[in-house]
């Protein structure tokens, strides 16, 4: 679950990852463009300025947008498959999700020290990289088999 992080006692809050499972929660609608929720806390002139928290918020927004793009391609792909193919893709996708989460957990353990926010940035960036790779894989699959997935 996401936990709120209070910056310097102000009422402005920044979310950071308390449990890596939170990043896997379904997202109904991704932001249409990359906009930080809290511009004042990310302004260098703000007394609440925290560059790490701003970097985390930006990284999580990018990961959310990338995940939304993957979900669109995945849904289009599954709609073009027969029942047996869909069953196999769903099973493969579930294993891929488990694998990339565990691999990102491992990458995070290699990082010694650092704040919880820094660890969340690394984890979210790792997920974004895996999601981008999966988007490319599914897009190539669609193209190779003449399916319209974009």
Residues 87-107 have pLDDT tens digits of 999 999 999 999 999 999 999
Return left, alpha or beta for 113; rule: phi > 0 is left, psi -120 to 50 is alpha, else beta. Answer: left
Average pLDDT, the chain: 75
Question: Which residues, 6+ apart, have CB-to-CB distance to 15 below 8 Å?
Answer: 2, 3, 4, 5, 57, 60
Greater model confidence, 15 or 67: 67
User: What tokens does 112 get?
Assistant: 């010694």
**pLDDT beyond 80 at 6:** no
**pLDDT beyond 60 at 117:** yes
**pLDDT beyond 80 at 120:** yes
Task: Name the E strands within 9-133.
Answer: 13-17
CA distance to 32, 40, 73, per residue, from 97 (Å): 24, 35, 15
What pTM value is reported for the model? 0.70
What's the pLDDT at 98? 97
- Separation CA 22–CA 3 (nearest Å): 10
CA distance to 2, 8, 101, 118, 143, per residue, from 113 (Å): 21, 22, 21, 9, 44
């Amino acid at each position: 679950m996401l936990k709120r992080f209070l910056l310097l006692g102000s009422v402005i809050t920044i979310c950071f990852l308390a449990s890596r499972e939170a990043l896997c929660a379904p997202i109904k609608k991704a932001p249409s463009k990359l906009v930080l929720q809290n511009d004042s806390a990310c302004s260098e002139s703000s007394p609440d300025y925290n560059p790490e928290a701003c970097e985390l918020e930006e990284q999580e927004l990018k990961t959310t947008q990338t995940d939304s793009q993957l979900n669109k391609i995945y849904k289009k792909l599954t709609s073009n498959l027969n029942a047996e193919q869909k069953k196999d893709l769903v099973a493969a996708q579930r294993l891929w999700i488990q694998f990339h989460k565990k691999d990102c957990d491992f990458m995070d353990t290699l990082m010694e020290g650092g704040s919880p926010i820094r660890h969340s940035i690394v984890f979210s960036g790792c997920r974004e990289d895996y999601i981008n790779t999966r988007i490319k894989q599914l897009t190539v699959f669609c193209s190779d088999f003449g399916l319209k997935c974009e």
